């Protein structure tokens, strides 16, 4: 079970967004895509999901080109957490999360007991069980984002692709997500997520891909790639990576923007 990109050029028919992306995502690995606003992280994710065709190079799932997988088969192997989801219809949280089971159901079938069980389990992991019968439209942005993650968990897919999963979450829920992702890794799930928080990458990623101006400027083990030079170059600002010691004595690397600031 591996998702891999080789010499990938991605974008739209009339516009190349990025190229020269190479990586492989093995089971139980967390990869992180970092890049400034507009660097094409979402487009890359959509290409890795098979929603956009690769312009050159290829994306493979278990060695087979992604486009050769039938839609439903692919959906049971790669789950997607979009940045946001908008429905004009008033589904409850439980109904929305049960949609994550679609690929497991026959085209004409409806939700089975196992589907309901998996959806309930996913809701519980995201701490949303108590809200299950609430209409999604009346929930906060953060709750909706947790709901999208729950929907992806309900798919039971071995690959999880997440587009800025922490974007609208408060500090506590960001920590919740990172813990859940670590737990998923422990269970053998491969996770790739894009983020604007290098700290999140430093905290849990095994592998990091830095994208700037349509090029993967660095790609490799997170510990090596996420250094002072690379991050400063990536965001065009002086950035320091410091080591702090947790109360329990474990060292932890954090990212600090330098510069003049206001004093």
Tell me which residues touch another protein (CB under 8 A): 46, 49-51, 71-72, 74-76, 78-80, 82, 85-92, 95, 99-100, 102-103, 105, 107-111, 133-135, 155
Specify which residues 135 forms β-bridges with.
92
The nearest distance, CB 148 to another protein, in angstroms, is 9
CB 53 within 8 A of CB 229: no
The nearest distance, CB 38 to another protein, in angstroms, is 19
Q: What spatial distance separates the first Cα and last Cα of the chain, rounded to whole Å?
A: 52
- The Cα–Cα gap between 91 and 137 comes to 8
**Tokens 């993650």, residue located:** 149
- The Cα–Cα gap between 111 and 185 comes to 28
Nearer to another protein, 76 or 232 (CB): 76
- The Cα–Cα gap between 261 and 143 comes to 34
CB 194 within 8 A of CB 39: no
CB 27 within 8 A of CB 34: no
The nearest distance, CB 232 to another protein, in angstroms, is 33
b (16+ CB within 10 A) / e for 221-243: ebeebbeeebbbebbeeebebee
The nearest distance, CB 159 to another protein, in angstroms, is 11
The nearest distance, CB 91 to another protein, in angstroms, is 5
């Amino acid at each position: 079970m591996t998702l891999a990109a080789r010499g990938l050029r991605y974008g739209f028919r009339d516009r190349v967004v990025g190229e020269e992306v190479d990586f492989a995502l093995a089971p139980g690995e967390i990869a992180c895509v970092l890049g400034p606003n507009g660097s094409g992280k979402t487009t890359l994710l959509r290409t890795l999901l098979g929603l956009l065709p690769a312009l050159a190079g290829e994306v493979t799932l278990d060695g087979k080109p992604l486009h050769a997988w039938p839609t439903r088969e692919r959906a049971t192997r790669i789950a997607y957490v979009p940045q946001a989801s908008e429905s004009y219809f008033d589904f409850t949280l439980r109904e929305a999360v049960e949609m994550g089971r679609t690929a497991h159901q026959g085209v004409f079938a409806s939700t089975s007991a196992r589907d309901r069980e998996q959806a309930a389990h996913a809701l519980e992991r995201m701490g949303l069980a108590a809200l299950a019968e609430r209409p999604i439209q009346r929930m906060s942005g953060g709750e909706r984002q947790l709901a999208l993650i729950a929907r992806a968990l309900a798919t039971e897919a071995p690959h999880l692709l997440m587009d800025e999963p922490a974007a609208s979450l408060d500090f506590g829920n960001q920590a919740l997500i990172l813990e859940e992702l670590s737990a998923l890794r422990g269970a053998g799930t491969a996770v790739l997520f894009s983020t604007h928080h290098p700290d999140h990458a430093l905290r849990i990623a095994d592998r990091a891909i830095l994208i700037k101006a349509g090029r993967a400027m660095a790609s490799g083990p997170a510990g090596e790639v996420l250094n002072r030079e690379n991050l400063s170059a990536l965001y065009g600002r002086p950035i320091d990576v410091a080591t702090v010691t947790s109360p329990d004595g474990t060292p932890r690397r954090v990212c600090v923007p330098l510069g003049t600031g206001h004093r």
